Amino acid sequence: MSVNNTNHVKKGKLKMFLLFLFITTFIWFLSKFSREFTATVDANIQYINLPKDVLISEDNYKNVSFDLTANGFDFLFYKIKQPSVTIDVDAYYKKGNRVVEISRNDFTKIITSQLKKSIAVKNISIEAMHIKLDKLESKKIPVRFSNDIQFEKGYKAVGEISIIPDSIVISGPSSFIDNISELLTETVNLENLKTNVNKTIAVQISNKKEISYSQNEVKLTIIVKEFIQKTLTIPIQLINVPSQIELKIIPEKLNIKFDIPMEKFNAYNENNFSIICDFNKRNNEGSFIIPEFSKKPASILTIEIQENKVKYLIFK
């Protein structure tokens, strides 16, 4: 027999052996996996169709285990894809109740109905399903601006920094929102600021899916002006001095200084201010009176009297 014929015979025998091995393995596989097995399986629990104004509480069951009797093919399927049990909460909910109760028998039916018909379910790890509900509540929370702003020298914000809206409505279980008293914006870093700011900024919100927000952004507005310091000399007015005494004060005029937008430098003069010394508020031991403003423009926020004590002499 030639070498070529010998090789051809060997290859033929190898192919027959491999074919026989494949057929034998396939028959074993069918025989093995056609038999019924019983084993414990874990399944995820999903809650659907929640009634209005309620939420699923955090401490409810997330999964359930049970003994499954099925053929090997079904077991192989559930090993590859973990089963999931879906519970229609609204189907068992009674209005006003904070707990939804599902009997063991009904829970078994729910599980069985969502698996293949040939599968038997026993020994469920949950005796009776009690689904705890949280009432959905809402409240308005103030928004606080978190900032790191550095103004250019000589520049300041005019009035209050504006956040619109200044509060946001949050909704969720009371256990989640009761302790929330304020919401912070994302930190805004502005350096050498000398122009107005109008921008939308994000609000720092919780990553808890149980809490919802009416909005997650606010509008920030900062009006910026260049300021200059102005000094005025204001005469002191005496009040509540008895008619029978003569009172002399030192000094009789006081210098005040205040910051004002450069564009309004000439808008204010001595007539816009009034300083008084109240004789009834005198300090007898030190023979002085604390001066105070009786009139000043409300728009001027930073103002200083350069002397905080006025000496007095009494002549009878």
Q: Which two tokens stand for residue 315?
A: 């002549």
Cβ–Cβ < 8 Å for 256, 217: no
* Collapsed DSSP state (helix, strand, coil) of residue 301: coil
pLDDT along the chain (316 residues), means of 10: 52 58 53 59 87 82 80 58 85 87 89 73 83 87 88 88 93 86 90 92 88 92 91 94 88 92 89 94 91 89 88 84
Query: Cis before residue 291, ω within 30 degrees of 0?
Result: no
Residues 271 and 204: their CA atoms lie apart, in Å, by 48
H helix intervals, the chain: 3-34, 72-80, 104-113, 174-177
H helix intervals, 35-68: none
207's CB contacts (< 8 A; 6+ apart) are none
pLDDT at res. 70: 63
* Collapsed DSSP state (helix, strand, coil) of residue 203: strand
Degrees to nearest 5, angle at CA 72 with 71 and 76: 125
Residues 161 and 219: their CA atoms lie apart, in Å, by 11
- 167-173 vs 129-144, strand pairing mode: antiparallel
Largest CA distance in the chain: 154
Residues 136 and 140: their CA atoms lie apart, in Å, by 14
Residues 17 and 30: their CA atoms lie apart, in Å, by 20
Residues 5 and 197: their CA atoms lie apart, in Å, by 92
pLDDT at res. 4: 54
Q: Count Cβ atoms within 10 A of the Cβ of residue 67 and give its class: 0-12 exposed, 13-18 middle, 19 or more buried.
A: middle
pLDDT at res. 33: 46
**Which residue's entry shows tokens 């190898």?**
14
Q: Which two tokens stand for residue 135?
A: 């009432």
Closest to 216 measured CA to CA, from 204, 224, 228: 204
Residue 102 has phi, psi (to 5 degrees) of: -125, 120
Closest to 84 measured CA to CA, from 102, 52, 110: 110
Residues 183 and 61: their CA atoms lie apart, in Å, by 31
Residue 283 has phi, psi (to 5 degrees) of: -105, 105
pLDDT at res. 16: 62
